[in-house]
């Protein structure tokens, strides 16, 4: 009887594990599966198992391709199963192509005459997942804010970043979910950052890979009215709950979608953009709506220089600008007080209210 031995954490079982067990079992007559105990898992990875060891053992024992399950107690990194392996003396030790401990495992196999076998990757029957991706999915929020950017846009793009300058933005409600999205798509409100968060991903790297900046996923994850330092990665300068903006913000759909990657190469005045952020930062720091509006209007002037159509100043509004990179999408409007916003909402149907969103 040929005994096959495999080891792992198997902390959250998924279809990829079952496929591995089936392929390993096919190489012999008797499959032994070992997994690290809760104590070992904490010792090596500083985390708790998803379920108690005895529950995990019963789950594994219930799989038709597994003949024996062992809970290992060893503290050698990569060889927590060594004592059991030497006792059982299996014929095969099966590992995957990404095994990190090949050298020490080969020596262990040589000690008992076992064959160290790397199982080649075969096409998965399902979309591949990992334990960490499952954990991120479970922990992902069910709702997320979008964002409006006040000033300093493009200074979050690594190739346009400027040391000592800032990006000013704010997370806003109504919130979105994977089922409910009460906004236009490709709208300049950071929807891709919200979508990444809702799916358990950190969108910073993906946004940078697209050739755009990190401000969307950064503020959507952080929430609140935020001032960030311009740079290659998000560094928070300071944060405000944004309560002074309540009842004073609205967005207007321009009628055309927004494409940030498609306009990233456009020429623009980065000096003027940086100056707009310095002004808006003062407004955020002192909760001063007038100063914040000054920075927003300064940025709008930079957008006009870039070739965007002028946005009308609505009655009662004190600032406006295109959201995101502009050339479509939503436009942001600021108002002196809630009554002025209500009057504008009544006379301008495409205008819709938004509120600052801050998760404590």
DSSP annotation of 232 reads: S
159 to 155, 204, 214, 227, 322: CA distances (angstroms): 8, 15, 12, 19, 22
pLDDT in tens, the chain (360 residues): 999 999 998 888 888 899 999 999 999 999 999 999 999 988 887 778 888 999 999 999 999 999 999 999 999 989 999 999 999 999 999 999 989 999 999 999 999 999 999 998 777 676 776 777 777 777 778 999 999 999 999 999 999 999 999 999 999 999 999 999 999 998 999 998 999 889 888 777 767 666 678 999 999 999 999 999 999 999 999 999 999 999 999 999 999 998 888 888 889 999 999 999 999 999 999 999 999 999 999 999 999 999 999 999 999 999 999 999 899 999 999 999 999 999 999 999 889 999 999 987
CB 334 within 8 A of CB 317: yes
The pLDDT tens digits of the residues spanning 50-68 come to 889 999 999 999 999 999 9
pLDDT on residue 122: 76
The pLDDT tens digits of the residues spanning 281-340 come to 999 999 999 999 999 999 999 999 999 999 999 999 999 999 998 999 999 999 999 999
Clarify whether residues 75 and 153 are in a common domain: no
Clarify whether residues 46 and 78 are in a common domain: yes
Clarify whether residues 205 and 268 are in a common domain: yes
Clarify whether residues 106 and 177 are in a common domain: no
Clarify whether residues 105 and 158 are in a common domain: no
Clarify whether residues 151 and 131 are in a common domain: no
Domain count within the chain = 2
Clarify whether residues 107 and 229 are in a common domain: no
CA 82, 86, 88, 91 dihedral sign is positive
How far apart are the C-alpha atoms of 222 and 359, rounded to whole Å?
8
How far apart are the C-alpha atoms of 265 and 168, rounded to whole Å?
22
Q: What is the CATH number of the domain that holds 65?
A: 3.40.50.620
How far apart are the C-alpha atoms of 115 and 5, rounded to whole Å?
10
How far apart are the C-alpha atoms of 139 and 220, rounded to whole Å?
16
Q: Whose CA is closest to 219, among 278, 150, 325, 147?
A: 147
Clarify whether residues 43 and 149 are in a common domain: no
The helix or strand, by DSSP H or E, that contains position 228, with its residue range, turns out to be strand 225-229
Clarify whether residues 163 and 294 are in a common domain: yes
Structure tokens at 215: 């401000």
pLDDT on residue 225: 98
Checking 306-312 for CB contacts under 8 A at 24+ apart, the result is 306/266, 306/267, 306/268, 306/269, 307/266, 311/252
First to last CA, the chain: 60
Clarify whether residues 189 and 283 are in a common domain: yes
Mark which of 136, 159, 185 sits at the end of a domain.
136
Q: Cis peptide before 258, with omega less than 30 degrees from 0?
A: no
CB 258 within 8 A of CB 189: no
Clarify whether residues 53 and 166 are in a common domain: no
Clarify whether residues 193 and 306 are in a common domain: yes
Structure tokens at 118: 């790397």
The 3-state secondary structure of 89-150, one letter per residue: CCCEEEEECCCCCHHHHHHHHHHHCCEEEEECCCCCCCCCCCHHHHHHHHHCCCCEEEEEEE
Q: What is the CATH number of the domain that holds 167?
A: 3.30.230.120
Residues spanned by the domain of 217: 140-356
pLDDT on residue 201: 81
């Amino acid at each position: 009887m040929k005994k096959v031995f495999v080891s792992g954490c198997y902390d959250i079982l998924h279809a990829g594990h079952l496929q591995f067990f089936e392929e390993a079992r096919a190489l012999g007559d008797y499959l032994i599966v070992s997994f690290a105990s809760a104590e070992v898992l904490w010792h090596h990875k500083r985390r708790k198992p998803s379920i108690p060891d005895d529950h995990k053992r019963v789950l594994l024992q219930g799989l038709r391709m597994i003949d024996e399950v062992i809970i290992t107690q060893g503290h050698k990194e990569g060889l927590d199963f060594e004592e059991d392996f030497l006792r059982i003396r299996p014929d095969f030790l099966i590992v995957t192509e990404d095994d990190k401990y090949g050298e020490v495992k080969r020596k262990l196999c040589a000690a008992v005459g076992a064959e160290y076998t790397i199982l080649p990757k075969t096409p998965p029957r399902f979309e591949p997942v990992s334990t960490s991706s499952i954990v991120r999915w479970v922990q992902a929020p069910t709702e997320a804010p979008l964002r409006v950017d006040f000033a300093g846009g493009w200074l979050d793009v690594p190739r346009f970043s400027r040391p000592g300058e800032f990006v000013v933005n704010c997370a806003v409600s109504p919130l979105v979910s994977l089922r409910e999205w009460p906004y236009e798509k490709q709208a300049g409100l950071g929807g891709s950052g919200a979508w990444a968060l809702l799916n358990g991903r950190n969108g910073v790297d993906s946004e940078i890979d697209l050739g755009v900046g990190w401000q969307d996923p950064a503020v959507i994850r952080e929430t609140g009215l935020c001032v960030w330092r311009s740079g290659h990665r998000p560094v928070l300068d300071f944060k405000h709950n944004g309560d002074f903006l309540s009842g004073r913000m609205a967005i207007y759909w321009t009628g055309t979608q927004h494409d940030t990657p498609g306009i990233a190469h456009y020429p623009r005045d980065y000096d003027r953009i940086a100056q707009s952020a310095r002004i808006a930062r003062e407004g955020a720091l002192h909760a001063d709506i007038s100063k914040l509006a000054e920075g927003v209007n300064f940025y709008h002037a930079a957008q006009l220089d870039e070739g965007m159509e002028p946005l009308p100043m609505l009655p009662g509004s004190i600032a406006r600008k295109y959201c995101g990179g502009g050339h479509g999408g939503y436009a942001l409007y600021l108002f002196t007080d809630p009554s002025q916003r209500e009057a504008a909402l009544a006379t301008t149907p495409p205008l819709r209210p938004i509120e600052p969103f801050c998760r404590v």
